[in-house]
Amino acid sequence: SEKIAVLTGGGDCPGLNAVIRAVVRSAHHKGLAVVGVRDGFKGAVEGDFFPLGLKDVSGLLPRGGTILGTTNRDNPFSYFIEENGKKVQKDCSGQILKNFSDRGIDSLIAIGGDGSLAIASQLTEQGLRVIGVPKTIDNDLRATDLTFGFQTAVETARDALDKLHTTAESHHRVMILEVMGRYAGWIALYAGIAGGADIILLPEIPYDLARVVQAIQDRVANHKKFSIIVAAEGARSQTGEMVIERRQEDRPDPIRLGGIGAKVAGDLESLIDLETRVTVLGHLQRGGSPNAFDRILATRYGAAAVQAVLEKKFNTMVALKGQEITTVPLKEAIRELKRVDADNQVLLAARQIGIKFGD
């Protein structure tokens, strides 16, 4: 019978397991066999496959992470291998095709963000038959209205903001919450609105520190001696660079410590009378159980991906457009990231109720 491989690539995200479950269950109902690929494209190159049946996905719906494992640094087109005791980079993409044909695998469902889907798209040029599933907490893929995992990440940040509010108010402090989003400020914008932030700093809107100070002081003048700032990790000032702090850059997996939150706090120190504290939410946003919305979206994507295999709509990505799940060419899916535009309605609503963006 027909055999599909499924892999998860790039940063993990709530709902990955829910997609895997939906793929296995739909495939089972249609008489297709599924094999899991361990650790994304690494397992694809190394032939690390295992059969996935109904029993393997039982109880998986609420579970965070991915039972397949993932990595975000194994690109088959420049793959690290050991040669004569030295690490060298080689194009190992051909090995993936060989592994697939050796095992009689007909197609691949690749669950990933822009990086993994770009690799998947490149593999289609070599003849691999691929269906992509859009995953990222950042929600920055242009070809779909929503990626799964985003809503859950927003919920986590919203919960943090609710908690920061009570302590900020008690202590008359400025609380800065740094959230993920290197290139796009969707999490910051949505969580900021849901969590009642006063100031939101986005990568798309470079801020002027004087305006941030003004916003805090206007609140003080209004008898509000506390303020809540949400900063996307990729936010930067009008004069400064992006400050995603990375230690040990020479390591293949640099330690992430956060950056912009601490920078803003340091810059505010001498300019305002209130104390400032910083919370870096970090990978809490990537972990844990997907919320109901993401479970449903992930389930729909998984089912749609198997349907696309059956209908031979290869080299596409399943996508949400309005209320409908459709397929879009994989090439289109990776063309450009989706950022918060100046005329975005959600952004405009936030401005209208008086949330400041530092511009």
Give residues in contact with ligand F6P (CB under 6 A). Answer: 11, 72, 113, 136-138, 180-182, 233, 256, 286
Smallest separation, CB 176 to ligand F6P (Å): 17
Distance CA 149, CA 128 (A): 27
Binding residues for Mg(2+): 114
Binding site for substrate, by residue number, is: 136-138, 173, 180-182, 233, 277, 283-286
Annotated binding site: 11, 73-74, 113-116, 136-138, 173, 180-182, 233, 277, 283-286
- Cβ at position 244, least distance to ligand F6P in Å: 7
> Between the CA of residue 327 and those of 111, 188, 323, what are the distances in Å?
14, 28, 13
Q: Judged by CB, which is closer to ligand F6P: 264, or 280?
A: 280
Give Cα separations from 13 to 104, 151, 344 (angstroms). Answer: 30, 11, 25
Residue 341 CA to residue 354 CA, distance in Å, equals 18
| Nearest-approach distance from CB 192 to ligand F6P, in angstroms | 15
Binding residues for ATP: 11, 73-74, 113-116
Active site residue 56: no
Q: Which is nearer to ligand F6P, 129 or 182 (CB)?
A: 182
Nearer to ligand F6P, 263 or 356 (CB): 263
Tokens 């975000």: give the residue. 72
Q: Which is nearer to ligand F6P, 45 or 137 (CB)?
A: 137
CB of 286 to ligand F6P, least distance (A): 6
Smallest distance from ligand F6P to CB 149, Å: 9
Minimal distance in Å, beta carbon 90 to ligand F6P? 23
Query: Which of the residues 12, 138, 198, 294 is marked catalytic?
Result: 138
Residue with smaller CB distance to ligand F6P, 181 or 261:
181
Toward ligand F6P, which CB reaches closer, 258 or 302?
258
Taking alpha carbons only, the member of 226, 222, 172, 238 closest to residue 198 is 226
Catalytic residues: 138
